[in-house]
Amino acid sequence: MVAGTDTIPTTVEWAMTELLRHRDKMMKVVKELDTVIGNQNTLEDSHIPQLVYLDAVIKETLRLHPVAPLLIPHVPSETTFWDDPLRFQPERFLETDINYRGNNFGFFPFGSGRRMCVGVSLAEKMMALLLGSLVHSFEWGLSKGTKPSLEDKFGVFLKKKESLVATPVARLPNLEQYQ
């Protein structure tokens, strides 16, 4: 239970941090959300399969900032190479069919095999709904001259050393959408 209540918001915080650091990626997510959902509706789980770029952002976030870094002994038997591995580049997941099921030894944020997280399906939907709703419903800003930190604090879960502080401004035209 603790894993599900802590890891999903932590992943969304990392994703928002990366999107605020890379405004071009944020704009791609906003454009996709506006195309799929429109500005008169709110995000629902039926929209999730159509949100390909949002899914790529979440996967790239989990690749760069694995929430559960202690997935030992799940270690690849050979080195896995990512092009420009330290760069936030969600597009790398648009070109492949990599999923969360632990079938690719370069990407298994939920573990694999018998010890794989039982909440993968729930986490996949919850991360998309939470991140998608935040990005679709608000324009996000930072204090002038600030850039969110990527420093992490190691523990059972890999969290940000400094919490993300961002200012939301409503972007949907109908205030009833916020209830």
Domain architecture of the chain: domains with CATH: 2-178 (1.10.630.10)
One-character DSSP codes across 21-32: H-HHHHHHHHHH
Residues of the chain falling short of pLDDT 70: 1-4, 68-80, 99-121, 156
**Which amino acid, 23?**
R
| Rounded-to-integer distance, Cα 2 and Cα 119, Å | 12
| Three-state secondary-structure class, residue 92 | helix
Q: CA–CA separation, 142 vs 164, rounded Å?
A: 9
Has 38 been labeled as part of a binding site?
A: no
pTM, two decimal places: 0.85
pLDDT tens-place string over residues 123-154? 788 989 999 999 999 999 998 888 899 988 87
Q: How many CA atoms lie less than 13 Å away from 45 in the CB half-sphere?
A: 7
DSSP E strand boundaries for the chain:
138-141, 152-153, 159-160, 167-170
Distance, CA of 153 to chain centre: 18
Q: Which among 81, 84, 33 has a CA at the least distance from the CA of 57?
A: 33
CA 62 – CA 107 distance, rounded (Å): 9
pLDDT at 47: 96
Q: How far apart are CA 79 and CA 91, in angstroms?
A: 22
H-assigned helices in 37-160? 52-64, 120-137
pLDDT attached to residue 22: 96
The phi and psi torsions of 18 (rounded to 5 degrees) equal -65, -40
CA nearest neighbour of 72 among 112, 123, 100, 118: 112
Q: Is 104 helix (H, G, I), strand (E, B) or coil?
A: strand
Q: Are 133 and 54 in contact (CB under 8 A)?
A: no
State the pLDDT at residue 84: 82
